Amino acid sequence: MANTEYLPTIGLEVHAELKTRTKMFCDSKNDPDEKRPNVNICPVCMAHPGTLPVINQEAVRYILLMGQALGGKIADYTEFDRKNYFYPDIPKGYQISQYKYPLVSGGVLQGVSITRIHLEEDTARSIHQGDVSLIDFNRAGVPLMELVTEPVIHSALEAVAFGKELQLLLRTLGAGDANMEKGEMRVEANISVGKGGVLGTKVEVKNLNSFRAVERAILYEVNRQIGLLEKGEKVVQETRGWNDAREETYSQRLKEDSHDYRYFPDPDLPKLSLGEIPEFSQESLKVGLPELPWQRRSRYLEYGLKAEDAETMTSDTELASFFDATIEGKDKEFISRAANYLTSDVLGLRAALQFEGMGKLSVESFRSLVDMILDSRLSSRGAKDALVILVRDGGDTESVVEAKGLLQQSGGEFLSSVAKKIVGAHPEVVEEYIKGKETSLQFLVGQGMKESRGSANPELLREALQKEIKG
């Protein structure tokens, strides 16, 4: 029996700017944060006649590292091709890209098969102001990774999860910052719906500049296509844009075929036999790989972190390296306590106080904070207060705790004076406890904690109260 449900099928094309020092084929600076237009340009990236491109080795290496991390096949032989089209943001009238011989073929990420990863150059940035269009060439010629997946994704959420993991991998390798909001990573989705195992006509959706846009656009497009098919109409093969404000896709143009681009090998660039270049050998690439996101994630799960905390930690590379430095040589109890304070308290403070990274908190001071908690020298109340100061102003934990009087009070004299006061103030509750109502003691402990402004060690306070009541 044929399946009567529509199945969405999605393939992704992801472009990501690489974080190299210079551009792809010249020594103009690659600086995504440059605000002044047309500063980082030169005759090569401005396509002046007679100039010659030179391949950026750092960019090639990043793509090969991606390939190595994803288990793809690194090409023995590769070349660059000209992709010809006319548009004001492409000064040469063609983009240098790769067609027949991508640097990487195959590989898998998050269960999604990858078709290829190749290297090309970014276009300039067009700025439209009323009737005027301006072009900033700072971005023209910036190294750009293009990764294409097989059409094996079947939901918007799967597509988003893939994109997030890819972003994390780029960051982990130091290959790119991949901020979608800054256009450093851009996603296009090829979307079709079909029934009973038959693939439908695919539509390409461009301009997806956030993970939210990826999710919304896929949901919208799947519904739109199902709607057309249900009405007996056809899905047109085309390129559609995404309007973020209206949350809908719109028709842009009919889809080009690759022959429209008249690809041919760039005669100005050398063909590369990668196998003969020592920096690009498998051995060298393997050594160059840091711990990968999925390896880090499973290490954190092995430590006993909750899945949610392991995820939070893995997806924030700065937090993760701080955590790793903190727990070096420490035991399981320390690790779980440290993870807790980082994922709940420190991240909570980051949101509330709006600081970047770890604020002024140092590994050293955080280590001693956790040590003091485990030694019962610091209550959880005291730890929270100390953390606010440590992330905001920095400093040494011992001194901060002492200066602010946050040390947990375990002294017998102090605790018995608190106990005496509380027992004196609540004779009826004490009476109930003596008659056997266990929860009454909890109430008295609570009152004692309040009295000591959180500084009493609750366990020892409980004992002091029992002693006081028994007389």
**Using CB under 5 A as the criterion, which residues of the chain lie in contact with Mn ion when the complex forms?**
146
Provide, rounded to whole angstroms, the least separation between the CB of residue 22 and Mn ion. Answer: 20
Considering the complex, state which of residue 146 and residue 468 has its C-beta at the smaller distance from Mn ion. Answer: 146
CB 203 within 8 A of CB 354: no
Provide, rounded to whole angstroms, the least separation between the CB of residue 146 and Mn ion. Answer: 4
Element (H, E) at 384: helix 380-393
Provide, rounded to whole angstroms, the least separation between the CB of residue 145 and Mn ion. Answer: 9
Provide, rounded to whole angstroms, the least separation between the CB of residue 82 and Mn ion. Answer: 13
CB 191 within 8 A of CB 222: yes
Q: How does DSSP assign 227-247, residue by residue?
A: HHHHTT-----EEEEEETTTT
Considering the complex, state which of residue 151 and residue 458 has its C-beta at the smaller distance from Mn ion. Answer: 151
Considering the complex, state which of residue 204 and residue 309 has its C-beta at the smaller distance from Mn ion. Answer: 204
Could you count the other beta carbons within 10 Å of the beta carbon of residue 19? Answer: 21
Q: How does DSSP assign 52-117, residue by residue?
A: -----HHHHHHHHHHHHHTTPEEPSEE--EEEE---TT-TTSEEEE-SSS-SEE--EETTEEEEEE
Report how far residue 216's alpha carbon sits from residue 248's, in angstroms, rounded to the nearest whole number. Answer: 8
Percent of the chain as helix, strand, coil, to the nearest 5: 45, 20, 35
Considering the complex, state which of residue 102 and residue 382 has its C-beta at the smaller distance from Mn ion. Answer: 102
Give the CB-nearest residue to Mn ion: 146
Place of tokens 């690194």: 74
Provide, rounded to whole angstroms, the least separation between the CB of residue 13 and Mn ion. Answer: 7
Report how far residue 56's alpha carbon sits from residue 466's, in angstroms, rounded to the nearest whole number. Answer: 74
Considering the complex, state which of residue 8 and residue 107 has its C-beta at the smaller distance from Mn ion. Answer: 107
| Orientation of helix 438-451 relative to helix 412-425, angle to 10° | 120
Considering the complex, state which of residue 12 and residue 305 has its C-beta at the smaller distance from Mn ion. Answer: 12
Provide, rounded to whole angstroms, the least separation between the CB of residue 104 and Mn ion. Answer: 14
Place of tokens 């067009």: 126
Considering the complex, state which of residue 56 and residue 365 has its C-beta at the smaller distance from Mn ion. Answer: 56
Considering the complex, state which of residue 22 and residue 123 has its C-beta at the smaller distance from Mn ion. Answer: 123
Provide, rounded to whole angstroms, the least separation between the CB of residue 49 and Mn ion. Answer: 25
Provide, rounded to whole angstroms, the least separation between the CB of residue 83 and Mn ion. Answer: 8
Radius of gyration of the chain (CA): 30
